[in-house]
Structure 1
Protein backbone atom coordinates (compact mmCIF):
# COMPACT_ATOMS: atom_id res chain seq x y z
CA UNK A 1 0.00 0.00 0.00
CA UNK A 2 1.25 3.47 -0.88
CA UNK A 3 1.23 6.15 1.77
CA UNK A 4 -1.29 8.93 1.12
CA UNK A 5 -0.06 12.40 0.25
CA UNK A 6 -1.74 14.34 3.05
CA UNK A 7 -3.23 17.76 2.38
CA UNK A 8 -0.95 20.67 3.30
CA UNK A 9 -1.25 22.33 6.70
CA UNK A 10 -1.65 26.10 6.83
CA UNK A 11 1.19 28.11 8.32
CA UNK A 12 0.68 30.30 11.38
CA UNK A 13 0.81 33.40 9.17
CA UNK A 14 -1.93 32.08 6.88
CA UNK A 15 -4.09 31.13 9.86
CA UNK A 16 -3.70 34.58 11.41
CA UNK A 17 -4.47 36.25 8.09
CA UNK A 18 -7.69 34.26 7.69
CA UNK A 19 -8.68 34.93 11.31
CA UNK A 20 -8.14 38.66 10.86
CA UNK A 21 -10.20 38.64 7.68
CA UNK A 22 -13.26 36.88 9.08
CA UNK A 23 -13.21 38.76 12.39
CA UNK A 24 -12.49 42.11 10.76
CA UNK A 25 -15.90 42.06 9.10
CA UNK A 26 -17.46 42.06 12.58
CA UNK A 27 -15.37 44.82 14.06
CA UNK A 28 -18.10 46.59 16.06
CA UNK A 29 -19.02 43.52 18.12
CA UNK A 30 -15.37 42.66 18.71
CA UNK A 31 -14.51 46.20 19.88
CA UNK A 32 -17.51 46.22 22.23
CA UNK A 33 -16.38 42.87 23.64
CA UNK A 34 -12.86 44.25 24.12
CA UNK A 35 -14.29 47.20 26.09
CA UNK A 36 -16.25 44.84 28.33
CA UNK A 37 -13.11 42.78 28.91
CA UNK A 38 -11.27 45.99 29.88
CA UNK A 39 -13.93 46.78 32.50
CA UNK A 40 -13.59 43.24 33.79
CA UNK A 41 -9.82 43.59 34.08
CA UNK A 42 -10.01 46.92 35.90
CA UNK A 43 -12.63 45.67 38.35
CA UNK A 44 -10.47 42.64 39.11
CA UNK A 45 -7.84 44.91 40.69
CA UNK A 46 -10.18 46.09 43.40
CA UNK A 47 -10.12 42.98 45.61
CA UNK A 48 -6.31 42.74 46.12
CA UNK A 49 -6.11 46.49 46.63
CA UNK A 50 -8.88 46.54 49.24
CA UNK A 51 -7.46 43.51 51.01
CA UNK A 52 -4.23 45.44 51.37
CA UNK A 53 -6.16 48.32 52.95
CA UNK A 54 -7.84 45.88 55.34
CA UNK A 55 -4.41 44.55 56.38
CA UNK A 56 -3.21 48.10 57.04
CA UNK A 57 -6.38 48.86 59.02
CA UNK A 58 -5.94 45.79 61.21
CA UNK A 59 -2.20 46.39 61.61
CA UNK A 60 -2.75 50.02 62.54
CA UNK A 61 -5.65 49.44 64.93
CA UNK A 62 -8.26 51.01 62.65
CA UNK A 63 -11.99 51.25 63.24
CA UNK A 64 -14.56 48.70 62.04
CA UNK A 65 -15.48 51.15 59.29
CA UNK A 66 -11.95 50.85 57.91
CA UNK A 67 -12.63 47.16 57.35
CA UNK A 68 -16.29 47.31 56.29
CA UNK A 69 -15.84 49.92 53.55
CA UNK A 70 -13.12 47.97 51.68
CA UNK A 71 -15.21 44.80 52.07
CA UNK A 72 -18.14 46.58 50.39
CA UNK A 73 -15.85 47.70 47.58
CA UNK A 74 -14.81 44.07 47.07
CA UNK A 75 -18.45 43.01 46.91
CA UNK A 76 -19.28 45.74 44.39
CA UNK A 77 -16.27 44.81 42.26
CA UNK A 78 -17.38 41.17 42.24
CA UNK A 79 -20.78 42.24 40.87
CA UNK A 80 -19.11 44.35 38.17
CA UNK A 81 -16.79 41.48 37.22
CA UNK A 82 -19.72 39.08 36.89
CA UNK A 83 -21.73 41.52 34.76
CA UNK A 84 -18.73 42.45 32.57
CA UNK A 85 -17.81 38.81 32.05
CA UNK A 86 -21.33 37.91 30.96
CA UNK A 87 -21.53 40.90 28.63
CA UNK A 88 -18.10 40.34 27.11
CA UNK A 89 -18.74 36.67 26.34
CA UNK A 90 -22.11 37.52 24.79
CA UNK A 91 -20.62 40.26 22.61
CA UNK A 92 -17.76 38.00 21.61
CA UNK A 93 -20.23 35.30 20.58
CA UNK A 94 -22.11 37.82 18.41
CA UNK A 95 -18.91 38.53 16.53
CA UNK A 96 -17.15 35.17 16.60
CA UNK A 97 -19.98 32.72 15.94
CA UNK A 98 -20.88 34.23 12.53
CA UNK A 99 -17.15 34.21 11.74
CA UNK A 100 -17.04 30.52 12.62
CA UNK A 101 -20.04 29.85 10.38
CA UNK A 102 -18.26 31.63 7.53
CA UNK A 103 -15.16 29.54 8.16
CA UNK A 104 -17.21 26.34 8.01
CA UNK A 105 -18.69 27.44 4.70
CA UNK A 106 -15.25 28.20 3.31
CA UNK A 107 -13.92 24.83 4.47
CA UNK A 108 -16.85 22.98 2.88
CA UNK A 109 -16.55 25.00 -0.33
CA UNK A 110 -12.83 24.23 -0.55
CA UNK A 111 -13.45 20.55 0.20
CA UNK A 112 -16.11 20.25 -2.52
CA UNK A 113 -13.86 22.05 -4.99
CA UNK A 114 -10.84 19.80 -4.43
CA UNK A 115 -9.40 18.11 -7.49
CA UNK A 116 -10.50 14.47 -7.59
CA UNK A 117 -6.97 13.20 -8.19
CA UNK A 118 -5.61 15.27 -5.31
CA UNK A 119 -8.35 14.01 -2.99
CA UNK A 120 -7.67 10.44 -4.07
CA UNK A 121 -3.98 10.90 -3.29
CA UNK A 122 -4.67 12.43 0.13
CA UNK A 123 -7.42 10.04 1.13
CA UNK A 124 -10.88 10.84 2.44
CA UNK A 125 -9.76 10.35 6.03
CA UNK A 126 -7.45 13.35 5.92
CA UNK A 127 -10.22 15.53 4.50
CA UNK A 128 -12.67 14.24 7.12
CA UNK A 129 -10.17 15.06 9.86
CA UNK A 130 -9.79 18.62 8.53
CA UNK A 131 -13.48 19.47 8.22
CA UNK A 132 -14.35 17.53 11.38
CA UNK A 133 -11.65 17.61 14.07
CA UNK A 134 -9.96 20.82 12.96
CA UNK A 135 -13.17 22.84 12.68
CA UNK A 136 -14.33 21.43 16.02
CA UNK A 137 -11.11 22.62 17.64
CA UNK A 138 -11.60 26.07 16.14
CA UNK A 139 -15.17 26.17 17.45
CA UNK A 140 -13.96 25.23 20.94
CA UNK A 141 -11.26 27.90 20.70
CA UNK A 142 -13.79 30.61 19.85
CA UNK A 143 -16.20 29.71 22.63
CA UNK A 144 -13.64 28.84 25.32
CA UNK A 145 -10.06 29.76 24.49
CA UNK A 146 -10.56 33.20 22.91
CA UNK A 147 -12.55 34.67 25.84
CA UNK A 148 -9.98 33.26 28.26
CA UNK A 149 -7.09 34.64 26.20
CA UNK A 150 -8.53 38.14 25.83
CA UNK A 151 -9.49 38.29 29.49
CA UNK A 152 -6.02 37.08 30.45
CA UNK A 153 -4.19 39.66 28.34
CA UNK A 154 -6.32 42.45 29.81
CA UNK A 155 -5.76 41.14 33.34
CA UNK A 156 -1.99 40.98 32.81
CA UNK A 157 -1.85 44.55 31.53
CA UNK A 158 -3.95 46.01 34.34
CA UNK A 159 -2.28 43.96 37.05
CA UNK A 160 1.23 44.86 35.91
CA UNK A 161 0.25 48.53 35.95
CA UNK A 162 -1.25 48.08 39.43
CA UNK A 163 2.02 46.70 40.77
CA UNK A 164 3.91 49.80 39.64
CA UNK A 165 1.20 52.07 41.06
CA UNK A 166 1.64 50.48 44.49
CA UNK A 167 5.42 50.90 44.38
CA UNK A 168 7.78 50.92 41.44
CA UNK A 169 10.27 48.72 43.28
CA UNK A 170 7.63 46.04 43.82
CA UNK A 171 6.78 46.32 40.14
CA UNK A 172 10.39 45.77 39.17
CA UNK A 173 10.55 42.79 41.51
CA UNK A 174 7.58 41.26 39.73
CA UNK A 175 9.31 41.80 36.38
CA UNK A 176 12.13 39.62 37.68
CA UNK A 177 10.03 36.60 36.70
CA UNK A 178 9.91 37.62 33.04
CA UNK A 179 13.34 36.18 32.06
CA UNK A 180 12.32 32.78 33.44
CA UNK A 181 9.08 32.84 31.43
CA UNK A 182 11.13 33.75 28.36
CA UNK A 183 13.52 30.87 28.98
CA UNK A 184 10.55 28.51 29.23
CA UNK A 185 9.12 29.79 25.96
CA UNK A 186 12.47 29.51 24.20
CA UNK A 187 12.57 25.87 25.25
CA UNK A 188 8.92 25.12 24.40
CA UNK A 189 8.13 26.93 21.15
CA UNK A 190 10.70 25.24 18.89
CA UNK A 191 9.40 21.87 20.08
CA UNK A 192 5.65 22.51 20.24
CA UNK A 193 4.99 23.52 16.62
CA UNK A 194 6.45 20.37 15.02
CA UNK A 195 4.86 18.19 17.73
CA UNK A 196 1.34 19.55 17.15
CA UNK A 197 1.84 19.30 13.39
CA UNK A 198 2.80 15.62 13.70
CA UNK A 199 -0.24 15.06 15.91
CA UNK A 200 -2.65 16.48 13.33
CA UNK A 201 -1.00 14.50 10.53
CA UNK A 202 -1.17 11.29 12.58
CA UNK A 203 -4.87 11.89 13.32
CA UNK A 204 -5.53 12.34 9.61
CA UNK A 205 -3.70 9.11 8.77
CA UNK A 206 -5.63 7.24 11.46
CA UNK A 207 -8.96 8.49 10.11
CA UNK A 208 -7.95 7.48 6.59
CA UNK A 209 -7.02 3.94 7.66
CA UNK A 210 -10.25 3.53 9.62
CA UNK A 211 -12.41 4.73 6.72
CA UNK A 212 -10.58 2.47 4.29
CA UNK A 213 -11.26 -0.49 6.54
CA UNK A 214 -14.95 0.37 6.88
CA UNK A 215 -15.68 1.16 3.23
CA UNK A 216 -13.38 -1.46 1.73
CA UNK A 217 -13.95 -4.32 4.17
CA UNK A 218 -15.34 -6.70 1.52
CA UNK A 219 -12.50 -6.00 -0.88
CA UNK A 220 -9.91 -6.46 1.85
CA UNK A 221 -11.42 -9.81 2.82
CA UNK A 222 -11.66 -10.93 -0.79
CA UNK A 223 -7.96 -10.31 -1.38
CA UNK A 224 -6.89 -11.66 1.99
CA UNK A 225 -5.70 -8.25 3.20
CA UNK A 226 -8.01 -7.90 6.20
CA UNK A 227 -5.41 -8.92 8.78
CA UNK A 228 -2.76 -6.69 7.20
CA UNK A 229 -5.13 -3.73 7.26
CA UNK A 230 -6.07 -4.42 10.88
CA UNK A 231 -2.41 -4.22 11.73
CA UNK A 232 -2.14 -0.99 9.75
CA UNK A 233 -5.07 0.51 11.67
CA UNK A 234 -3.56 -0.59 14.97
CA UNK A 235 -0.20 0.90 13.99
CA UNK A 236 -1.64 4.27 12.93
CA UNK A 237 -3.88 4.42 16.01
CA UNK A 238 -0.99 3.67 18.35
CA UNK A 239 1.21 6.20 16.56
CA UNK A 240 -1.51 8.86 16.98
CA UNK A 241 -1.90 7.97 20.66
CA UNK A 242 1.85 7.97 21.26
CA UNK A 243 2.28 11.38 19.65
CA UNK A 244 -0.59 12.76 21.77
CA UNK A 245 1.13 11.39 24.88
CA UNK A 246 4.40 13.00 23.83
CA UNK A 247 2.64 16.33 23.25
CA UNK A 248 1.08 16.17 26.70
CA UNK A 249 4.44 15.30 28.27
CA UNK A 250 5.98 18.28 26.48
CA UNK A 251 3.23 20.55 27.84
CA UNK A 252 3.74 19.16 31.35
CA UNK A 253 7.45 19.97 31.26
CA UNK A 254 6.64 23.47 30.04
CA UNK A 255 4.13 23.87 32.89
CA UNK A 256 6.89 23.06 35.38
CA UNK A 257 9.00 25.84 33.91
CA UNK A 258 6.07 28.23 34.24
CA UNK A 259 5.60 27.24 37.88
CA UNK A 260 9.27 27.95 38.50
CA UNK A 261 8.88 31.45 37.09
CA UNK A 262 5.81 32.02 39.29
CA UNK A 263 7.69 30.94 42.39
CA UNK A 264 10.67 33.15 41.63
CA UNK A 265 8.49 36.19 40.92
CA UNK A 266 6.46 35.79 44.10
CA UNK A 267 9.60 35.30 46.20
CA UNK A 268 11.18 38.41 44.69
CA UNK A 269 8.11 40.48 45.60
CA UNK A 270 7.99 39.11 49.15
CA UNK A 271 11.72 39.63 49.75
CA UNK A 272 11.60 43.13 48.27
CA UNK A 273 8.49 43.90 50.30
CA UNK A 274 10.15 42.68 53.49
CA UNK A 275 13.10 45.02 52.93
CA UNK A 276 10.82 47.97 52.11
CA UNK A 277 8.59 47.38 55.15
CA UNK A 278 11.63 47.08 57.39
CA UNK A 279 12.82 50.48 56.13
CA UNK A 280 9.29 51.95 56.48
CA UNK A 281 9.21 52.63 52.74
CA UNK A 282 5.85 50.91 52.22
CA UNK A 283 3.15 49.44 54.44
CA UNK A 284 2.45 45.79 55.10
CA UNK A 285 -0.85 46.21 53.30
CA UNK A 286 0.88 47.50 50.18
CA UNK A 287 3.14 44.45 50.06
CA UNK A 288 0.14 42.22 50.67
CA UNK A 289 -1.71 43.84 47.79
CA UNK A 290 1.33 43.50 45.52
CA UNK A 291 1.76 39.81 46.39
CA UNK A 292 -1.94 39.16 45.79
CA UNK A 293 -1.81 41.03 42.48
CA UNK A 294 1.16 38.97 41.32
CA UNK A 295 -0.55 35.77 42.48
CA UNK A 296 -3.55 36.89 40.45
CA UNK A 297 -1.31 36.77 37.36
CA UNK A 298 -0.69 33.03 37.63
CA UNK A 299 -3.82 31.93 35.77
CA UNK A 300 -3.80 34.70 33.11
CA UNK A 301 -0.13 34.13 32.29
CA UNK A 302 -0.72 30.40 32.22
CA UNK A 303 -3.65 30.87 29.83
CA UNK A 304 -1.55 33.00 27.48
CA UNK A 305 1.42 30.63 27.54
CA UNK A 306 -0.48 27.36 27.31
Structure 2
Protein backbone atom coordinates (compact mmCIF):
# COMPACT_ATOMS: atom_id res chain seq x y z
CA UNK A 1 0.00 0.00 0.00
CA UNK A 2 1.51 3.32 -1.07
CA UNK A 3 0.88 6.99 -0.33
CA UNK A 4 -1.91 7.32 -2.88
CA UNK A 5 -3.70 4.24 -1.54
CA UNK A 6 -3.64 5.73 1.95
CA UNK A 7 -5.00 9.06 0.68
CA UNK A 8 -7.78 7.22 -1.17
CA UNK A 9 -8.82 5.45 2.04
CA UNK A 10 -8.86 8.71 3.98
CA UNK A 11 -10.82 10.42 1.21
CA UNK A 12 -13.63 7.85 1.50
CA UNK A 13 -14.36 9.08 5.00
CA UNK A 14 -13.10 12.69 5.03
CA UNK A 15 -13.63 15.15 2.21
CA UNK A 16 -10.24 16.38 1.02
CA UNK A 17 -9.07 18.93 -1.52
CA UNK A 18 -7.06 17.02 -4.11
CA UNK A 19 -4.63 19.82 -4.90
CA UNK A 20 -1.24 21.13 -3.82
CA UNK A 21 -2.82 23.04 -0.93
CA UNK A 22 -5.93 23.02 1.25
CA UNK A 23 -8.18 26.04 1.61
CA UNK A 24 -11.40 27.39 3.04
CA UNK A 25 -13.29 30.55 2.13
CA UNK A 26 -13.41 33.28 4.76
CA UNK A 27 -15.69 36.07 3.56
CA UNK A 28 -14.09 37.46 0.38
CA UNK A 29 -10.75 35.59 0.67
CA UNK A 30 -9.40 32.07 1.00
CA UNK A 31 -7.41 30.90 3.97
CA UNK A 32 -4.78 28.64 2.39
CA UNK A 33 -2.90 25.98 4.33
CA UNK A 34 -0.19 23.49 3.46
CA UNK A 35 1.67 20.88 5.49
CA UNK A 36 4.53 18.78 4.18
CA UNK A 37 6.46 16.11 6.08
CA UNK A 38 10.13 15.36 5.48
CA UNK A 39 11.63 12.09 6.76
CA UNK A 40 15.38 11.96 6.54
CA UNK A 41 15.70 8.32 5.50
CA UNK A 42 13.34 8.68 2.51
CA UNK A 43 13.60 12.36 1.55
CA UNK A 44 17.27 13.28 1.95
CA UNK A 45 20.41 11.63 0.56
CA UNK A 46 23.09 10.92 3.15
CA UNK A 47 25.30 13.60 1.59
CA UNK A 48 22.80 16.31 2.56
CA UNK A 49 23.87 18.25 5.64
CA UNK A 50 21.42 18.83 8.47
CA UNK A 51 21.00 22.53 7.71
CA UNK A 52 20.29 21.67 4.06
CA UNK A 53 17.65 19.16 5.17
CA UNK A 54 15.82 21.71 7.32
CA UNK A 55 16.06 24.26 4.52
CA UNK A 56 14.60 21.69 2.09
CA UNK A 57 11.62 21.14 4.39
CA UNK A 58 10.77 24.82 3.90
CA UNK A 59 11.36 24.64 0.13
CA UNK A 60 8.95 21.73 -0.35
CA UNK A 61 6.09 23.45 1.47
CA UNK A 62 6.75 26.86 -0.05
CA UNK A 63 6.81 25.44 -3.58
CA UNK A 64 3.29 24.04 -3.16
CA UNK A 65 2.00 27.38 -1.89
CA UNK A 66 3.67 29.39 -4.65
CA UNK A 67 2.40 27.17 -7.47
CA UNK A 68 -1.15 28.00 -6.36
CA UNK A 69 -0.37 31.73 -6.50
CA UNK A 70 -0.26 32.09 -2.71
CA UNK A 71 2.38 33.97 -0.72
CA UNK A 72 2.60 32.47 2.80
CA UNK A 73 2.46 34.86 5.74
CA UNK A 74 3.57 32.44 8.49
CA UNK A 75 4.98 28.97 9.08
CA UNK A 76 4.94 26.40 11.89
CA UNK A 77 7.58 23.69 12.28
CA UNK A 78 7.15 20.37 14.09
CA UNK A 79 10.49 18.70 14.70
CA UNK A 80 11.09 15.12 15.85
CA UNK A 81 14.70 14.01 16.38
CA UNK A 82 16.49 10.83 17.48
CA UNK A 83 17.87 10.81 21.03
CA UNK A 84 21.37 10.60 19.54
CA UNK A 85 21.16 14.18 18.26
CA UNK A 86 23.55 16.63 19.91
CA UNK A 87 23.30 20.35 20.58
CA UNK A 88 25.46 20.85 17.49
CA UNK A 89 22.97 18.89 15.38
CA UNK A 90 20.04 20.98 16.64
CA UNK A 91 21.95 24.19 15.96
CA UNK A 92 22.59 22.99 12.42
CA UNK A 93 18.88 22.35 11.86
CA UNK A 94 18.03 25.78 13.22
CA UNK A 95 20.60 27.31 10.89
CA UNK A 96 18.75 25.83 7.91
CA UNK A 97 15.44 27.24 9.10
CA UNK A 98 17.03 30.65 9.53
CA UNK A 99 18.67 30.50 6.09
CA UNK A 100 15.27 29.69 4.56
CA UNK A 101 13.58 32.54 6.45
CA UNK A 102 16.06 35.06 5.08
CA UNK A 103 16.34 33.53 1.59
CA UNK A 104 12.62 33.25 0.93
CA UNK A 105 11.18 36.00 3.10
CA UNK A 106 9.03 33.76 5.30
CA UNK A 107 8.36 33.91 9.04
CA UNK A 108 8.48 30.88 11.34
CA UNK A 109 6.26 31.69 14.33
CA UNK A 110 6.20 28.46 16.35
CA UNK A 111 5.84 24.69 16.29
CA UNK A 112 6.38 21.55 18.34
CA UNK A 113 9.17 19.10 19.25
CA UNK A 114 9.24 15.39 19.95
CA UNK A 115 11.43 12.30 19.81
CA UNK A 116 11.55 9.75 16.98
CA UNK A 117 13.79 7.04 15.54
CA UNK A 118 14.45 9.20 12.47
CA UNK A 119 14.68 12.94 11.83
CA UNK A 120 11.18 14.16 10.90
CA UNK A 121 10.28 17.73 10.01
CA UNK A 122 6.69 18.73 9.39
CA UNK A 123 6.32 22.22 7.95
CA UNK A 124 2.99 24.06 7.89
CA UNK A 125 2.40 27.30 6.02
CA UNK A 126 -0.57 29.61 5.92
CA UNK A 127 -1.57 32.50 3.70
CA UNK A 128 -4.52 34.37 2.22
CA UNK A 129 -5.53 34.56 -1.43
CA UNK A 130 -8.26 36.04 -3.58
CA UNK A 131 -8.17 33.02 -5.89
CA UNK A 132 -6.61 29.55 -5.99
CA UNK A 133 -5.07 28.21 -9.19
CA UNK A 134 -6.52 24.70 -9.46
CA UNK A 135 -5.10 21.59 -11.05
CA UNK A 136 -8.37 20.86 -12.86
CA UNK A 137 -8.78 24.07 -14.82
CA UNK A 138 -6.63 23.61 -17.95
CA UNK A 139 -8.55 24.90 -20.97
CA UNK A 140 -8.55 23.63 -24.53
CA UNK A 141 -6.13 25.83 -26.47
CA UNK A 142 -4.00 26.69 -23.42
CA UNK A 143 -0.22 26.77 -23.78
CA UNK A 144 1.69 24.49 -21.40
CA UNK A 145 4.73 26.06 -19.76
CA UNK A 146 7.49 25.05 -17.37
CA UNK A 147 9.44 27.39 -15.10
CA UNK A 148 12.63 25.38 -15.61
CA UNK A 149 14.45 22.40 -17.09
CA UNK A 150 14.35 18.75 -16.08
CA UNK A 151 16.81 15.91 -15.70
CA UNK A 152 19.39 17.47 -13.39
CA UNK A 153 18.01 16.13 -10.11
CA UNK A 154 17.96 12.64 -11.61
CA UNK A 155 21.58 13.09 -12.66
CA UNK A 156 22.46 14.29 -9.17
CA UNK A 157 20.89 11.20 -7.60
CA UNK A 158 22.63 8.91 -10.10
CA UNK A 159 25.95 10.50 -9.16
CA UNK A 160 25.28 10.16 -5.43
CA UNK A 161 23.68 6.74 -5.38
CA UNK A 162 25.26 4.95 -8.33
CA UNK A 163 28.56 6.81 -8.78
CA UNK A 164 27.65 7.81 -12.35
CA UNK A 165 30.28 9.83 -14.18
CA UNK A 166 29.82 13.46 -15.23
CA UNK A 167 32.09 16.36 -16.10
CA UNK A 168 32.93 18.82 -13.33
CA UNK A 169 30.46 21.51 -14.42
CA UNK A 170 27.52 19.13 -14.85
CA UNK A 171 28.35 17.36 -11.59
CA UNK A 172 28.28 20.66 -9.68
CA UNK A 173 25.00 21.74 -11.26
CA UNK A 174 23.30 18.38 -10.69
CA UNK A 175 24.41 18.05 -7.07
CA UNK A 176 23.33 21.61 -6.30
CA UNK A 177 19.86 20.84 -7.67
CA UNK A 178 19.59 18.03 -5.08
CA UNK A 179 21.30 19.62 -2.09
CA UNK A 180 20.08 23.21 -2.54
CA UNK A 181 16.72 23.14 -4.37
CA UNK A 182 15.03 26.44 -5.10
CA UNK A 183 11.29 27.14 -5.20
CA UNK A 184 10.05 29.33 -8.06
CA UNK A 185 8.84 32.24 -5.96
CA UNK A 186 8.79 34.52 -9.01
CA UNK A 187 5.83 32.48 -10.27
CA UNK A 188 3.70 34.65 -7.98
CA UNK A 189 4.23 37.48 -10.48
CA UNK A 190 2.49 35.57 -13.29
CA UNK A 191 -0.15 33.72 -11.27
CA UNK A 192 -2.99 35.97 -12.43
CA UNK A 193 -2.45 34.86 -16.05
CA UNK A 194 -2.57 31.11 -15.34
CA UNK A 195 -5.53 28.70 -15.64
CA UNK A 196 -4.00 25.61 -14.00
CA UNK A 197 -0.73 24.75 -12.28
CA UNK A 198 1.09 22.19 -10.17
CA UNK A 199 4.41 21.76 -8.40
CA UNK A 200 6.53 19.12 -10.16
CA UNK A 201 8.40 17.66 -7.18
CA UNK A 202 6.93 14.18 -7.76
CA UNK A 203 8.22 14.12 -11.34
CA UNK A 204 7.34 15.69 -14.68
CA UNK A 205 5.36 12.70 -15.98
CA UNK A 206 3.30 12.51 -12.81
CA UNK A 207 2.61 16.25 -12.89
CA UNK A 208 1.54 16.37 -16.53
CA UNK A 209 -0.71 13.33 -16.11
CA UNK A 210 -2.32 14.72 -12.97
CA UNK A 211 -3.14 18.05 -14.63
CA UNK A 212 -4.41 16.29 -17.76
CA UNK A 213 -6.55 13.80 -15.83
CA UNK A 214 -8.17 16.31 -13.48
CA UNK A 215 -8.80 18.82 -16.29
CA UNK A 216 -10.15 16.07 -18.57
CA UNK A 217 -7.97 17.32 -21.42
CA UNK A 218 -5.15 15.98 -23.58
CA UNK A 219 -1.66 17.42 -23.07
CA UNK A 220 0.51 17.42 -26.20
CA UNK A 221 4.20 17.95 -25.36
CA UNK A 222 6.26 18.89 -28.42
CA UNK A 223 9.19 20.59 -26.66
CA UNK A 224 10.71 18.52 -23.86
CA UNK A 225 12.09 20.89 -21.20
CA UNK A 226 15.67 19.68 -20.92
CA UNK A 227 19.13 20.20 -22.43
CA UNK A 228 21.49 18.33 -24.70
CA UNK A 229 23.88 17.59 -21.83
CA UNK A 230 21.18 15.52 -20.12
CA UNK A 231 20.97 13.30 -23.22
CA UNK A 232 24.77 13.14 -23.39
CA UNK A 233 24.97 12.09 -19.75
CA UNK A 234 22.33 9.40 -20.32
CA UNK A 235 24.19 8.01 -23.33
CA UNK A 236 27.60 7.95 -21.66
CA UNK A 237 26.21 6.23 -18.55
CA UNK A 238 23.74 3.94 -20.33
CA UNK A 239 20.58 5.47 -18.84
CA UNK A 240 17.22 6.07 -20.49
CA UNK A 241 17.09 9.87 -20.98
CA UNK A 242 13.29 9.94 -20.77
CA UNK A 243 13.41 8.32 -17.34
CA UNK A 244 15.90 10.97 -16.17
CA UNK A 245 13.71 13.78 -17.50
CA UNK A 246 10.19 12.57 -16.73
CA UNK A 247 10.43 10.22 -13.75
CA UNK A 248 13.01 11.72 -11.40
CA UNK A 249 11.18 14.18 -9.18
CA UNK A 250 12.64 16.67 -6.67
CA UNK A 251 12.70 19.49 -9.25
CA UNK A 252 10.33 21.99 -7.57
CA UNK A 253 9.62 23.55 -10.96
CA UNK A 254 6.07 24.60 -11.76
CA UNK A 255 4.05 23.30 -14.70
CA UNK A 256 1.21 25.60 -15.74
CA UNK A 257 -1.27 26.23 -18.53
CA UNK A 258 -2.42 29.64 -19.71
CA UNK A 259 -4.19 31.27 -22.66
CA UNK A 260 -2.01 31.90 -25.69
CA UNK A 261 -2.72 35.63 -25.59
CA UNK A 262 -0.92 35.94 -22.23
CA UNK A 263 2.32 34.29 -23.31
CA UNK A 264 4.19 37.45 -24.39
CA UNK A 265 3.24 39.24 -21.17
CA UNK A 266 4.33 36.30 -19.02
CA UNK A 267 7.64 36.00 -20.89
CA UNK A 268 8.33 39.66 -20.16
CA UNK A 269 7.90 39.00 -16.43
CA UNK A 270 9.93 35.81 -15.94
CA UNK A 271 11.78 33.19 -18.02
CA UNK A 272 9.56 30.29 -19.04
CA UNK A 273 9.77 27.29 -21.36
CA UNK A 274 6.86 26.64 -23.70
CA UNK A 275 6.54 22.85 -23.81
CA UNK A 276 3.19 22.08 -25.44
CA UNK A 277 -0.52 22.72 -25.74
CA UNK A 278 -3.81 21.56 -24.27
CA UNK A 279 -6.24 19.82 -26.61
CA UNK A 280 -9.58 18.06 -26.43
CA UNK A 281 -9.26 14.46 -25.32
CA UNK A 282 -7.35 12.67 -22.57
CA UNK A 283 -3.83 11.56 -21.73
CA UNK A 284 -0.35 13.03 -22.11
CA UNK A 285 1.63 12.62 -25.33
CA UNK A 286 5.24 13.54 -26.06
CA UNK A 287 6.71 14.10 -29.49
CA UNK A 288 9.30 11.49 -30.41
CA UNK A 289 10.90 12.05 -33.80
CA UNK A 290 7.88 13.07 -35.90
CA UNK A 291 5.23 11.16 -33.95
CA UNK A 292 3.51 11.52 -30.59
CA UNK A 293 3.57 8.69 -28.06
CA UNK A 294 1.74 8.24 -24.78
CA UNK A 295 3.56 9.33 -21.62
CA UNK A 296 2.56 7.11 -18.73
CA UNK A 297 2.37 8.34 -15.17
CA UNK A 298 5.45 7.51 -13.14
CA UNK A 299 7.50 9.55 -10.68
CA UNK A 300 8.06 9.38 -6.93
CA UNK A 301 5.41 7.87 -4.65
CA UNK A 302 6.03 7.43 -0.93
CA UNK A 303 5.78 3.81 0.31
CA UNK A 304 5.65 2.55 -3.29
CA UNK A 305 8.11 -0.24 -2.54
CA UNK A 306 6.63 -1.21 0.82
After TM superposition, the score normalised by the length of structure 1 is 0.24
Q: Which structure is richer in relative contact order (CA contacts within 8 A, separation 6 or more)?
A: 1
Bigger share in strand: 2
After TM superposition, the score normalised by the length of structure 2 is 0.24
* Bigger-Rg structure (1/2): 1
